[in-house]
């Protein structure tokens, strides 16, 4: 165990910082050693805190209070120079903030009737070709795509047919943005539905159900020809879909793995290596995984149609940090192995994952 | 012992109970079935409560023997739960047993706290923290730098339009979708509507613009393949951003590589390189290309890496692999030796070296087993290299330190190179015997040159591959023509280089030059540059006596610069060489390569095209031009040609009429005769011509059907007189020629088509067949591959490709069989080598000896002072013209100059002058026109003046004229207006005057 164990990546808790509010999301500010914590203060207002990592501790740079609790945020649709933060709050508002002047948002829209559960951006930060776009998923059952250059109305909107029950959309993610035209949005719902919307053809490209509520979906990379998608679920399982080969009837091949005995709240791929990802669990644990490709990624079925072959997933490391669920997780885009996670024990933790190069 | 383990082991009874109950309540299926709640608390002492495992199984002996992992996992759970008592040792033993049987068993997963300092050695802990600290400091420093407010707007201009903006919605849709679309922006659509959406229509609308732009690029890709831009638009990006993006693209490449998608990997490496060229990206790309068996590209990438980091072991290893694949065993061995110089302990290098040496030995007896052996070797190399691939990234930081180390190895490298050269040198002496050694030598060289087959005699010109032997070969030969000049036997070529001092160069310069050559051969390019520079200075000091020699010196120095990766100096030297010797092949090729490696693709393309105009059979230039075409299409879209600077028209005399015997003009002739064709066309009634064209074509087609290919070819040729643009006629004629076994003509026709339409599948296919007929299997294979790239379903092409590949392999291994070919090759090489001293060739057949050419040269080189009266004939090319002008200029012989101008077609003037128009010459022209011509033929004077203003450097020269000189020009114009006639109007003259700034 000793020698072999040390060769594996280790997770070091670099900083643990208690906070005075409920933390929903935390994000690294690109090209900096700063991170943002988004959450809800005890009196029901939104909190946005900017911390800087300085010599083994986090220094609070600024704190801003907003009317509604902030559920989620992303830098995905902003340029490296601007670094505007897009947030979704409990009131269904999508706001874009200039962190230098955070008093009024640079863009604001009441996008949804209810809470925005999840947000993702693409086309910024040099990640993803094409227009900068933000996607939001809400409890009102809709998934909307926004272009910061277009006020008030979404550029695409995906919602259930009139009369059909509205499902709570828990998570959204962009993918397939490898050229200016191609782009997909993947959304996960509380009933276990996963839907893949193709924004180029404006069609529902694929859907499946993983039986339990989908807590988090993420493509391994947003800016390549769709390669893999990880979807985590309420009951502790996650599924990895090989998105390269879509079979006409069977869809995408997948492998599933049980990580822990509690909800997997979040999955995040290492920005520097798409085959490594971390899941954060309800029991305060983190699992680091590696996906291994099969020898052949596709094969022909009896009718000659191409179908994908799923690979396997192996656990690289797991740690338990808290007794409370870890609800958010974010890898630093600039420093390999540096990540931040926020848990419901009102603590933000900066972690270092070592030896990711040798995986 | 770890905290987690002991915790699990030492839990007490009560606690364990709680754990197991809580597990049941969580109720994952497995537990529910097994742990039935109805089982009484004290049912049976013989089994455990939870899984009904016999108690006897909780035993060292049983666990040791048990191989059922599932069962063991159950035992472990029971043990951990503590329900049967607490046995830490047994638990541990059971864990170990499971780990032994199935290291990835989920039962082994335990909650662990995060690692702390105690989990690492002090050093590791320090590095971990240190790295983070330095990163934090770096980031904070970056942050304090001012941001770039100005760039914001620029960036937004580059952004693609907003999706589904109202502009792309038109009302002329069918009724159903109409209101849907009207409301589309505001009223949300539901899932079912998403499905009903008219995808095709919407798509085509959205992409209308892009579709057209990409149509050409897509043609090359399979339709199913994703279109990924090969280049990234980096306008308005800061350096940091560029680094970030280049890194990211490289990472994407690495990932694609890891998942086995090498094509994608190459794409992403290319993208990374397009942002910032790094050795690591090139190196990785080389590896991906190796996997794709694109040996040529892999070789180029390795060269690039080695240009940047001469001691890069991986690049050397990879280049060795490529050379091995291309069967350049000698060079492969050299590379491996270099590797071993740097890393004496490199096991893979040693192993490969042994194998290649073995292969080299067994090369003489042609054996069928060779192929098999080779295959195994590839596998080996790939596997091992695949392993370090992953490390590539991680070692980047170490690389910088590696670079410092490489300072030493370079010397070793040079030494190794020198040793190898010694070898080849010896072989070279035996060359006259036509022994196998020589065959292998040439073969190796030919393979080296971008993998083209040995059929292409000229490719040794493309010595940018620049292996020591290659240079040895070409330079040894470059001496030969000079020997011939002084009418020595051809055998003199094998003499020591130092003996050839009796060229037209002064002895000191010749000595410097040969020293330079020697240094170059031994790979000491820096020293060679010094020698050449000395020689150049010396020659210049003597005055402009021998532009040809000076040109060679420049050209040679350019080669050194190219090898050193000093592209800008290389280009400068090439320019000088070309000024002295317009349209000489080597400087053109070198400049092309330099441009290419500086990513100035347009200029490179122009140069390659010029080379091809001079000699269309230089495979390296052909390949490069094709490659660059693709790059340019990627870069500029389908209208890339419009962005090109004009391709200089090579005077006919500078072109090599190698294939005159076939009675067919070379590919660029149609272009030069288009003027005539156009006139003819104008005269003819257009409709009539078209009709005639059609009938002729149909007749040709009929002849083909009847199998009368000769007549068909004739008909098509007639067609071409009417219309040179129609590709089908050329492809059809190519078919006829193929049937008639006139492969060369067929190839020419295909070339022509491909110039017009660079993705004509038929032309590629037929050219491939032609190459096959010409036994140029490598080129043939390339073309077949292109065919398959355009349309992967062409069965014939696949079949042919297999066949040709076999032939190629056979041909490469059949050493003894190639003697006749070799001989032919040598003659051609002799001929082309004479271009070292001058490009002009009067060859009508391949058997032209150097003597004829050299006699000509001697004639030309006669110093003008010696003969009072110059014999003026119409200059055939810029070189001739330059020679005569030089002669005339030195004697200031205005009469001769006037004579020259009268015999010269004014329209050719800009070409003939190329870039050598100088104030003196200009003045001479003006004076001679004024004194001798204007009275006789004012029309001609006007024409000359008109075309003179089109010449390169005209503006410069004009700007430098003195007042006095301007006056002379003015006088000439006055004379012109006095003698005005119908050939030019008064307005013409006035406008021309303006051009002359009068």
Q: Is the pLDDT of residue B55 over 50?
A: yes
ipTM of the complex: 0.82
Does B160 lie at the interface with A, CB-CB under 8 angstroms? yes
CB B147 within 8 A of CB A81: yes
Q: Is the pLDDT of residue B34 over 60?
A: no
CB B822 within 8 A of CB B446: no
A357·B394 Cβ contact <8 A: yes
Q: Is the pLDDT of residue A172 over 90?
A: yes
Give the residues across from A241 on adjacent strands: A229, A254
Q: How far apart are CA A329 and CA A267, in angstroms?
A: 8
Write the class of the CATH domain B239-359: mainly alpha
CB B431 within 8 A of CB B438: yes
Indicate the pLDDT class of residue A135, thresholds 50, 70 and 90: very high
Q: What's the pLDDT score for residue B257? A: 85
CA-nearest residue to B95 within chain A is A1
Among B162, B228, B391, whose Cβ lies nearest the Cβ of A147? B162
Q: What's the pLDDT score for residue B745? A: 83
Residue A2 lies in a domain: no
Compute the nearest-CA separation of B758 from chain A (Å).
25
Mean pLDDT estimate for chain A: 87
Pairing between β-strand A306-308 and β-strand B189-190 as defined by DSSP bridges = unpaired
Residues 247-266 of A with CB under 8 A from B: 258, 261
Q: What's the pLDDT score for residue B725? A: 67
Summarised one tens digit per residue, pLDDT across range B440-451 is 444 444 444 433
Residue A33 lies in a domain: yes
Q: What's the pLDDT score for residue A335? A: 87
Q: Which of the residues B163, B212, B392 would you substitute to probe the A interface, choosing the one with the greatest number of A C-beta atoms within 10 Å? A: B163
Angle, helix B239-258 to helix B279-291, in steps of 10 degrees:
20
DSSP secondary structure letters along B820-836 = HHHHHHHHHHHHHHGGG
Q: How far apart are CA B339 and CA B342, in angstroms?
A: 5
Q: Which two tokens stand for residue A10?
A: 């280790």
In whole angstroms, how large is the CA radius of gyration of chain B? 37
Q: Which residue has the tokens 């004379």?
A: B975
Arithmetic mean of pLDDT, B972-993: 82
Q: Is the pLDDT of residue A273 over 50?
A: yes
Q: Which of A218-222, B168-172, B693-697, B943-947 has the lowest mean pLDDT?
A: B168-172
Q: How far apart are CA B321 and CA B383, in angstroms?
A: 12
Cα distances from B913 to residues B549, B608, B880, B899, B909, in angstroms, run 20, 21, 10, 16, 6
Arithmetic mean of pLDDT, A219-239: 88
Indicate the pLDDT class of residue A102, thresholds 50, 70 and 90: confident
Q: Is the pLDDT of residue B455 over 70?
A: no
Indicate the pLDDT class of residue B881, thresholds 50, 70 and 90: confident
Closest Cα to residue B340, out of B252, B412, B268?
B412
Q: How far apart are CA B77 and CA B84, in angstroms?
A: 11
Give the number of other Cβ atoms within 10 Å of residue B546's Cβ.
20
Angle, helix B727-739 to helix B743-756, in steps of 10 degrees:
160
Q: What's the pLDDT score for residue B930? A: 83
Q: How far apart are CA A80 and CA A68, in angstroms?
A: 27
Q: What's the pLDDT score for residue B394? A: 38
Q: How many residues does chain B have?
A: 998
Higher pLDDT, B205 or A313: A313
Pairing between β-strand A273-281 and β-strand A156-159 as defined by DSSP bridges = unpaired
Which DSSP symbol is given to A167? Answer: P
| Contact residues, chain A, for B2 at CB < 8 Å | 1
B28·A162 Cβ contact <8 A: no
Quote the percentage of chain B above a pLDDT of 90.
0
The 3-class SS string of B699-711 reads HHHHHHHHCCHHH
Q: Is the pLDDT of residue B978 over 90?
A: no
Pairing between β-strand B189-190 and β-strand A156-159 as defined by DSSP bridges = parallel
3-state SS assignment for residue B115: strand
Does B867 lie at the interface with A, CB-CB under 8 angstroms? no
Q: Which of B385-394, B610-619, B799-808 has the lowest mean pLDDT?
A: B385-394
B937: which residues sit within 8 A by CB, 6+ positions away? B902
Q: How far apart are CA B340 and CA B421, in angstroms?
A: 18
Indicate the pLDDT class of residue B701, thresholds 50, 70 and 90: confident
Q: Is the pLDDT of residue B355 over 50?
A: yes
Give the number of other Cβ atoms within 10 Å of residue B904's Cβ.
19
CB A60 within 8 A of CB A86: no
Summarised one tens digit per residue, pLDDT across range B516-537 is 887 777 777 778 888 888 888 8
Arithmetic mean of pLDDT, B285-301: 84
Q: How far apart are CA B188 and CA B515, in angstroms?
A: 80
Arithmetic mean of pLDDT, A189-193: 88
3-state SS assignment for residue B162: coil
Q: What's the pLDDT score for residue B811? A: 63
CA-nearest residue to B110 within chain A is A318
Summarised one tens digit per residue, pLDDT across range B218-252 is 333 333 456 677 777 666 677 777 887 888 888 88
Alpha carbon of residue A45 to chain centroid: 24
Q: Is the pLDDT of residue B197 over 50?
A: no
Phi, psi of B841, rounded to the nearest 5 degrees: -135, 140
Phi, psi of B920, rounded to the nearest 5 degrees: -60, -50
Q: How far apart are CA A187 and CA B735, in angstroms?
A: 57
Q: What's the pLDDT score for residue B552? A: 83
Q: Is the pLDDT of residue B938 over 90?
A: no
Mean pLDDT estimate for chain B: 66
Q: Is the pLDDT of residue B502 over 50?
A: no
Quote the percentage of chain B above a pLDDT of 70.
61
Q: What's the pLDDT score for residue B548? A: 76
Arithmetic mean of pLDDT, A137-160: 88
On the CB side of B512, CA atoms within 13 Å amount to 23
3-state SS assignment for residue B106: helix
Q: What's the pLDDT score for residue B397? A: 38
Q: Which of the residues A11, A31, A56, A79 would you substitute to probe the B interface, choosing the one with the greatest number of B C-beta atoms within 10 Å? A: A79
CB A9 within 8 A of CB A316: yes
Q: Is the pLDDT of residue B199 over 70?
A: no
Q: Which of A13-22, A32-41, A333-342, B686-695 has the lowest mean pLDDT?
A: B686-695
Does B245 lie at the interface with A, CB-CB under 8 angstroms? yes
Domain count, chain A: 1
Which superfamily does CATH assign the domain made up of B681-812 to?
A: Tetratricopeptide repeat domain (1.25.40.10)
Cα distances from A169 to residues A75, A200, A213, in angstroms, run 21, 22, 9
Q: What's the pLDDT score for residue B507? A: 74
Q: What's the pLDDT score for residue B73? A: 82
Q: Which of the listed ranges B98-107, B786-795, B948-957 does the model predict with the highest average pLDDT?
A: B948-957
Q: Which residue has the tokens 């128009």?
A: B917
Summarised one tens digit per residue, pLDDT across range A90-101 is 999 999 998 888
Which superfamily does CATH assign the domain made up of B507-652 to?
A: Tetratricopeptide repeat domain (1.25.40.10)
Higher pLDDT, B198 or A30: A30
Pairing between β-strand A156-159 and β-strand A228-233 as defined by DSSP bridges = unpaired
CATH number of the domain enclosing A185: 2.130.10.10
- Using a CB cutoff of 8 Å and minimum separation of 24, what contacts does A98-105 make? A99/A29, A99/A36, A99/A50, A102/A48, A102/A62, A102/A64, A103/A64
Q: Is the pLDDT of residue B346 over 80?
A: no
CB B329 within 8 A of CB B356: yes
B229·A314 Cβ contact <8 A: no
Q: CA B920, B924, B926, B928: dihedral to nearest 10 degrees?
A: 180
Residues 189-208 of A with CB under 8 A from B: 195, 197, 199-204
Residue A3 lies in a domain: no
What domain range is A202 assigned to?
10-296+305-354
Identify the burial level of B561 via C-beta atoms within 10 angstroms of its C-beta, where 0-12 means exposed, 13-18 middle and 19 or more buried: buried
Q: How far apart are CA B451 and CA B456, in angstroms?
A: 11
Q: How many residues does chain A have?
A: 359
Q: Is the pLDDT of residue A330 over 90?
A: yes
Q: Is the pLDDT of residue A346 over 80?
A: yes
Q: Which two tokens stand for residue B163?
A: 């999706």
Q: Which of B199-203, B354-358, B739-743, B927-931 has the lowest mean pLDDT?
A: B199-203
A204·B194 Cβ contact <8 A: yes
Summarised one tens digit per residue, pLDDT across range B146-165 is 554 444 444 455 677 777 64
Q: What's the pLDDT score for residue A86? A: 92
Residue A5 lies in a domain: no
């Amino acid at each position: 165990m000793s020698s072999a164990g040390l060769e594996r990546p280790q997770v070091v808790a670099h900083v643990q910082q208690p906070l005075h509010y409920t933390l929903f999301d935390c994000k690294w500010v690109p090209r900096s050693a700063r991170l943002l914590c988004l959450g809800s203060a005890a009196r029901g207002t939104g909190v946005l805190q900017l911390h800087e990592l300085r010599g083994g501790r986090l220094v609070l740079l600024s704190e801003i209070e907003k009317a509604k609790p902030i559920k989620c945020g992303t830098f995905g649709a902003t340029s490296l120079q601007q670094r505007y933060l897009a947030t979704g709050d409990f009131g269904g508002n999508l706001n874009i903030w200039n962190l230098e002047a955070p008093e009024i948002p640079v863009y604001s829209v009441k996008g949804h009737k209810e809470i925005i559960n999840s947000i993702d951006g693409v086309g910024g930060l040099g990640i993803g070709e094409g227009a900068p776009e933000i996607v939001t998923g809400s409890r009102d059952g809709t998934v909307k795509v926004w272009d910061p250059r277009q006020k008030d109305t979404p550029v695409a909107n995906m919602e259930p047919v009139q009369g059909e029950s509205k499902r709570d959309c828990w998570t959204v993610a962009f993918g397939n943005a490898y050229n200016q035209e191609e782009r997909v949005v993947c959304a996960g719902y509380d009933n276990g539905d996963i839907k893949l919307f193709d924004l180029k053809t404006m069609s529902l490209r694929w859907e499946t159900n993983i039986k339990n509520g989908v807590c988090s979906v993420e493509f391994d990379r947003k800016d390549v020809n769709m390669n893999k998608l990880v979807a985590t679920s309420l009951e502790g399982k996650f599924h990895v879909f090989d998105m390269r080969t879509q079979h006409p009837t069977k869809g995408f091949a997948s492998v599933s793995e049980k990580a822990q005995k509690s909800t997997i709240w979040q999955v995040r791929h290492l920005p520097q290596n798409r085959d490594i990802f971390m899941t954060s669990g309800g029991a305060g644990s983190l699992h680091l995984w590696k996906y291994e490709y099969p020898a052949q990624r596709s094969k022909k079925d009896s009718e000659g149609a191409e179908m994908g072959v799923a690979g396997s997933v192996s656990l690289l490391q797991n740690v338990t940090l808290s007794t409370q669920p870890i609800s958010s997780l974010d890898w630093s885009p600039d420093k390999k192995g540096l990540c931040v996670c926020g848990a419901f024990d009102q603590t933000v933790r900066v972690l270092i994952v070592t030896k990711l190069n040798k995986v | 012992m770890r905290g987690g383990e002991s915790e699990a082991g030492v839990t007490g009874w009560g606690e364990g109970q709680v754990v197991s109950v809580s597990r049941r309540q969580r109720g994952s299926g497995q537990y529910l079935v097994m742990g039935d709640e109805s089982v009484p608390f004290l049912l049976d002492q013989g089994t455990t409560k939870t899984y009904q495992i016999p108690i006897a199984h909780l035993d060292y002996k049983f666990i040791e023997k048990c191989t059922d992992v599932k069962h063991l996992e159950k035992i472990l759970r029971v043990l951990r739960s503590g329900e049967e008592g607490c046995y830490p040792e047994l638990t541990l033993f059971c864990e170990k047993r499971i780990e032994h049987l199935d290291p990835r068993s989920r039962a082994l997963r335990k909650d662990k706290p995060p690692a702390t300092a105690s989990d690492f050695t002090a050093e590791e802990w320090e590095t971990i923290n240190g790295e983070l600290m330095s990163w934090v400091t770096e980031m904070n420093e970056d942050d304090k730098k001012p941001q770039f407010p100005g760039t914001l707007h620029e960036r937004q201009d580059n952004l693609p339009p907003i999706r589904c903006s109202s502009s792309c919605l038109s009302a002329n849709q069918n009724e159903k979708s109409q209101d849907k679309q009207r409301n589309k922006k505001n009223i949300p659509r539901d899932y079912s509507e998403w499905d009903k959406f008219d995808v095709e229509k919407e798509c085509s609308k959205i992409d209308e613009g892009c579709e057209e732009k990409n149509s050409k690029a897509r043609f090359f890709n399979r339709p199913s393949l994703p279109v990924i831009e090969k280049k990234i638009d980096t306008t308005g990006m800061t350096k940091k951003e560029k680094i970030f993006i280049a890194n990211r693209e490289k990472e994407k490449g690495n990932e694609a590589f890891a998942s086995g998608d090498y094509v994608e990997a190459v794409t992403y490496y290319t993208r990374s390189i397009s942002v910032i060229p790094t050795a690591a990206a090139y190196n990785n790309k080389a590896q991906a290309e190796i996997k794709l068996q694109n040996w040529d590209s892999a070789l180029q990438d390795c060269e690039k890496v080695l240009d940047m980091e001469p001691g890069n072991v991986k690049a050397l290893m990879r280049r060795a692999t490529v050379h091995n694949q291309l069967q350049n065993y000698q060079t492969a061995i050299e590379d491996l030796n270099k590797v071993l110089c740097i890393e004496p302990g490199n096991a893979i290098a040693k192993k490969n070296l042994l194998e290649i040496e073995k292969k080299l030995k067994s090369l003489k007896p042609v054996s069928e087993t060779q192929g098999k052996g080779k295959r195994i070797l590839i596998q080996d190399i790939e596997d091992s290299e695949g392993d370090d691939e992953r490390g590539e990234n991680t070692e980047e930081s170490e690389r910088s330190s590696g670079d410092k180390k490489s300072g030493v190895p370079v010397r070793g490298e040079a030494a190794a190179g020198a040793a190898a050269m010694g070898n080849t040198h010896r072989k070279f002496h035996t060359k006259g015997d036509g022994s196998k050694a020589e065959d292998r030598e040439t073969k190796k060289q030919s393979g080296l040159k971008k993998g083209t087959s040995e059929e292409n005699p000229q490719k040794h010109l493309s010595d940018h591959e620049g292996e020591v032997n290659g240079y040895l070969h070409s330079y040894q030969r470059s001496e030969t023509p000079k020997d011939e000049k002084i009418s020595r036997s051809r055998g003199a070529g094998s003499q020591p280089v130092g003996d050839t001092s009796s060229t037209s160069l002064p002895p000191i310069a010749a000595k410097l030059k040969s020293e330079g050559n020697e240094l170059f051969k031994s790979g000491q390019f820096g020293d060679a540059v010094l020698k050449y520079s000395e020689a150049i200075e010396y020659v210049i000091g003597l005055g402009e006596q021998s532009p040809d020699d000076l040109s060679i010196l420049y050209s040679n120095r350019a080669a050194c610069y190219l090898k050193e990766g000093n592209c800008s100096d290389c280009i400068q030297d090439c320019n000088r060489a070309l000024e002295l010797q317009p349209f000489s092949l080597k400087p053109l090729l070198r400049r092309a390569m330099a441009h290419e490696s500086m990513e100035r693709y347009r200029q490179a393309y122009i140069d390659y095209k010029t080379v091809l105009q001079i000699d269309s059979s230089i495979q390296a230039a052909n390949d490069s031009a094709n490659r660059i075409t693709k790059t340019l299409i990627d870069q500029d879209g389908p209208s890339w040609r419009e962005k090109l600077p004009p391709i200089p028209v090579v005077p006919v005399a500078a072109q090599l009429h190698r294939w005159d015997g076939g009675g067919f003009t070379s590919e660029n002739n149609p272009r030069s005769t288009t003027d005539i064709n156009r006139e003819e066309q104008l005269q003819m009634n257009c409709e009539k011509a078209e009709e005639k064209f059609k009938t002729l074509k149909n007749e040709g087609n009929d002849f083909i059907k009847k199998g009368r290919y000769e007549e068909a070819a004739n008909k098509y040729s007639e067609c071409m007189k009417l219309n040179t643009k129609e590709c089908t006629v050329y492809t059809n004629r190519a078919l006829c020629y193929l049937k008639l076994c006139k492969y060369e003509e067929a190839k020419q026709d295909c070339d022509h088509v491909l110039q017009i339409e660079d993705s004509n599948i038929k032309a590629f296919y037929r050219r491939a067949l032609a190459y096959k007929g010409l036994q140029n299997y490598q080129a043939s294979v390339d073309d077949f591959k292109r065919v398959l790239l355009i349309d992967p379903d062409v069965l014939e092409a696949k079949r042919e490709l297999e066949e040709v590949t076999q032939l190629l392999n056979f041909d490469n291994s059949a050493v003894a069989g190639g003697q006749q070919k070799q001989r032919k090759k040598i003659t051609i090489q002799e001929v082309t080598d004479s271009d070292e001293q001058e490009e002009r060739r009067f060859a009508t057949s391949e058997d032209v000896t150097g003597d004829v050419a050299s006699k000509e040269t001697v004639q030309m080189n006669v110093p003008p002072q010696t003969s009072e009266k110059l014999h003026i004939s119409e200059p055939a090319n810029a070189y001739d013209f330059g020679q005569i002008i030089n002669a005339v200029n030195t004697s200031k012989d205005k009469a001769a100059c006037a004579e020259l101008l009268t015999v010269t077609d004014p329209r050719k003037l800009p070409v003939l002058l190329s870039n050598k128009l100088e104030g003196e010459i200009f003045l001479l022209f003006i004076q001679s026109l004024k004194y001798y011509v204007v009275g006789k033929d004012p029309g001609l004077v006007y024409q000359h003046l008109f075309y003179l203003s089109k010449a390169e450097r005209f503006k410069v020269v004009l700007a430098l004229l003195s007042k006095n000189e301007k006056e002379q020009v003015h006088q000439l114009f006055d004379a012109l207006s006095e003698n005005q006639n119908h050939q030019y109007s008064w307005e013409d003259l006035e406008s021309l005057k303006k051009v002359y700034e009068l």
